[in-house]
Copies of this chain bind each other. A is one copy, B any other.
């Protein structure tokens, strides 16, 4: 799956993943009105609105991008109905040929991580049959419990030819409270980066490992160090745009082959029609605004990569 992701990045010339993190506030009124008319102002109504909103954005952007990253929390907040919309979104994105990165940030003790891995990336056995629960292509994983909490995910990825992005340095303001603490003179995120790199060496695709890392766009100096520390690791880079990450900051997350990083943007793309730059599209054409935002983001990143000598 990592090679499939790389192929699609090369084909689209867009090292971009669109974060499908739909807040109800992002969804244009006409979509909410229609959904609530059909299903009421209920969890099912909210889930229908989310699904229709996502579908519009996917239809308008799937030819431009390699991958999407639905954030499961944004669905889970609507309970079962929300999770049905999450699953439906995954299925639809896969039909459209997109690679799906489930932003689930799960992680637990071994037997429990195995259950998460099976439910999101693998197959569960019931009697003589096997079933796929959510069936994302990649998942994000929290490493705080150590290797026995991560290994079950790696095992399932190996079997299913899928992949992971393990949290190394997250994009949020307080990520340093734990992740930056010095351990033997080195920040903890470097230690975790070394662990990820080591797991990656044992689980290689053609040119990159299918065990990737998450490093926030908001910490470019750390991204530069982590890039060197994890040469064969694909880096998922959240925090671009709305969270403050800029295109020129991203250059050091890439390798000299022009690969090695995929940049995530959520609000900046899915709620583009609400931003000054794209307000001319209006809520009816929200998906066209998203398409334009993807084109602009691709341009920004590629320009920065050319300037930075990467492309």
In the bound complex, do residue A119 and residue B172 qualify as a contact, i.e. CB atoms below 8 Å apart? no
Which of B46, B74, B112, B178 lies in contact with A126, CB distance below 8 A? B46
Chain A contact patch, size range:
35 or more
Assembly CA distance A178 to B183 (angstroms): 10
Does any Cβ of B come within 8 Å of A7's Cβ? no
| Chain A, range 162-197, C-beta contacts under 8 Å to B | 167, 170-179, 181-184, 188, 191-192, 195
Does any Cβ of B come within 8 Å of A82's Cβ? yes
Assembly CA distance A142 to B145 (angstroms): 9
| Chain A, range 127-143, C-beta contacts under 8 Å to B | 127-129, 131-134, 142-143
A181-B183, A188-B178 known; A78-B45 Cβ under 8 A: no
**Copies of the chain in the assembly:** 2
Which of B74, B128, B143 lies in contact with A112, CB distance below 8 A? B74
Assembly CA distance A147 to B174 (angstroms): 6
Does any Cβ of B come within 8 Å of A250's Cβ? no
| Chain A, range 100-129, C-beta contacts under 8 Å to B | 105-113, 115-116, 118-120, 124-129
In the bound complex, do residue B181 and residue A73 qualify as a contact, i.e. CB atoms below 8 Å apart? no
Assembly CA distance A183 to B180 (angstroms): 10
Residue-wise, chain A 19-59 has the 8 Å CB interface mask toward B (1 for contact) of 00101100000001000100001110110000000000000
In the bound complex, do residue A175 and residue B24 qualify as a contact, i.e. CB atoms below 8 Å apart? no
Which residues of B lie under 8 Å from residue A118 when comparing CB positions?
A: 77
| Chain A, range 183-218, C-beta contacts under 8 Å to B | 183-184, 188, 191-192, 195
In the bound complex, do residue B144 and residue A172 qualify as a contact, i.e. CB atoms below 8 Å apart? no
Which residues of B lie under 8 Å from residue A116 when comparing CB positions?
A: 73, 76-77
Closest CB in chain B relative to A295 CB, distance in Å? 26
Which residues from chain A sit less than 8 Å from chain B, CB to CB? Answer: 21, 23-24, 32, 36, 41-43, 45-46, 71, 73-74, 76-80, 82-84, 87, 105-113, 115-116, 118-120, 124-129, 131-134, 142-149, 167, 170-179, 181-184, 188, 191-192, 195
Q: List 28 A-B contacts (CB under 8 A).
A: A41-B126, A41-B128, A43-B126, A73-B112, A73-B113, A74-B112, A76-B116, A77-B119, A79-B124, A79-B132, A80-B80, A82-B119, A83-B83, A105-B107, A105-B108, A107-B142, A109-B170, A110-B172, A143-B178, A144-B179, A145-B172, A146-B177, A146-B179, A148-B174, A149-B174, A178-B191, A181-B181, A181-B191
